[in-house]
Chains A and B, each alone.
Chain A
């Protein structure tokens, strides 16, 4: 079967979802009012509250939520075959992510542009806000650890991508200077930067001396280096330390100096990456070689693990933070919420869709696929590498040589992951400061102290799990925890929307059903992993680190389920 069909099916369902389902939700459930005075107008201060064109705001929402996560999750989840992954991405986007992103935006707009955390306080109580902050803290900690591992892994596997990625830093500083000190337009400098990066990618792909391969510098995979680490472990260790130092600097510098200009370049990379792969798909017209359902995937059941392996791309709680944190304060008209929120989620669905397509068309036959996806841990460790090879395969459809395409796609993925990483370290710093304020713990209220704490905790978390390649290479073990924390956050946001809708006397099933679904999947998956895999009670040895984090998330999930039940039943009594 041609892979174009997967893209067509996905696109048609997304269009129908936007055209009919989101219209129904907008008119009958959220009841958007074009005359409602949005917080952007009511509290306009030209800093936080600024009325913004809906296309611009959609761009903001999409580029804020589209990162490496919607690529990594689907690339792992095709382990169970392309059909379950495709169905979850497409239906999850239409029935869960769309109403979630859209709903958090409307809920926040109807509550003075307040964030989901503040709304949890308002709708449920103070404890809910603290719980919410802790879940976000765990989520960003996971994001830091997972993405530091993702980038290090790509640097080890694709050494040609190192120089083009690091060139981005001085280029970004130059753009920041040109735009803010010299008042230049940003389009031309960021296009020049992009051209320089891709030129560097071409050169490094063809000149082995410019490929920064730390493993070979340390004497190969088996070599014994400092502290008795082998070559791969040492390479991971060095990359993770470099990344953490970079994060510290990037998240404490003023935004215009590095973060924003890097985002200028990355927004273009998002367009270029999606363009290359979808166009390549059209011209190449590859066949789907992976099985629809993988009969060999027996070591881990797809149910319920699929629903936490693909978080971003189907539904993700992080989107609610963007919707209620910034987008809601800039919404010009309430009716724009459908376009911004729902279509923002659909944009990410497209990214997840191309990730599935890239992986399922990569292999020559089903046997090769089975060899690459021989076990769930093989899928976890190699999923992203397969996406890059698959993306390069698609890019060859528009005539880009495979080795160069591979470097360019890995540069794009690393750039996305790096943006997620430094934004998330910055976010973690804010949360640590807020929690330290809440508990009156003065030392951690200082930016540098909070950032140091964030960076050290993240580095420890990514270095501790032991993977097949030794020290530092087990970061992928954290992926299910990241997915669970993310889904849990989405479930809380959906719960808040449901409570709000119920108090208004409206039908809240559109948010309640995905909420129950997510809570059941999260609790189920966590019980399965915490009790039977990480506790040592099952066939495998105890993994203390994963057990502790998993147990914390499980307790939070159960707590939220109870809170939701109490809150919703209390209100129904009142209504009677």
Chain B
């Protein structure tokens, strides 16, 4: 409450107010796109041939962080991959 008033902050607040209505839906749409991308990257491990596996392999360390939430979202309580250390 004691924060100094600034016009910039006011505009930020206003922008947030008018964008918050669809924030959830847009975040969900983006997450769906990410989920599909993650599935494509993991396709080799799931038994589907992936011509770009040489490159996607390099992404695995970064994907590992998102992997647990991804397989939960996909309706699998446990990790479907033996090569991935997860839950």
Contact = CB atoms under 8 A, between A and B. Distances in A.
A binds B: yes
Interface of A: 46-48, 50, 52-53, 55-57, 59-60, 63-64, 185-187, 190, 254-256, 259-260, 263-264, 267-268, 326, 329-330
Given A48-B24, A255-B26, 4 more contacts: A56-B17, A260-B22, A267-B17, A268-B18
B5 to A, nearest CB: 14
Contacts of B21: 60, 63-64, 260, 263
Interface in B1-40: 11, 13-29, 31
B67 to A, nearest CB: 15
Interface residues of B, number: 19
15 contacts: A48-B24, A60-B20, A185-B15, A186-B15, A187-B14, A187-B15, A190-B18, A255-B22, A256-B29, A259-B22, A260-B19, A263-B21, A263-B22, A264-B18, A267-B18
A46 B66 CA distance: 14
A55 B26 contact: no
Contacts of A47: 24, 27-28, 31
B13 A53 contact: yes
The interface centre, meaning the residue of B26, B28, B29 with most chain A CB atoms within 10 A of its CB, is B26
Contact of A55 (B17, B25, B28): B17
Contacts of B15: 185-187
Nearest to B29: A254
A254 B31 CA distance: 13
Most-contacted residue by chain A among B16, B18, B19, B20 (CB, 10 A): B18
Secondary structure call for the B interface: helix
Given A187-B11, A254-B29, A255-B29, A50 B17 contact: no
A59 B24 contact: no
A261 to B, nearest CB: 9
B22 to A, nearest CB: 4
Contacts of B24: 47-48, 50, 326, 329
Contacts of B20: 52, 56-57, 59-60, 330
B31 to A, nearest CB: 6
Nearest to B31: A47
Contacts of A186: 15, 18-19
Query: Which 7 pairs of residues, A with B, have the shortest CB-CB distance?
Result: A59-B17, A260-B22, A47-B27, A267-B18, A60-B20, A255-B25, A56-B16
A50 to B, nearest CB: 7
B7 to A, nearest CB: 12
Contacts of A268: 18
Nearest to A263: B21
A50 B23 contact: yes
A260 B26 contact: yes
Nearest to B23: A50
Contacts of B19: 186, 260, 264
Contacts of B25: 255
Counting chain B CB atoms within 10 Å of each CB, the highest count among A185, A190, A254 belongs to A254
Q: Looking at B15, B24, B29, which has the most chain A CB atoms within 10 Å of its CB?
A: B24
B12 to A, nearest CB: 9
A226 B23 CA distance: 45
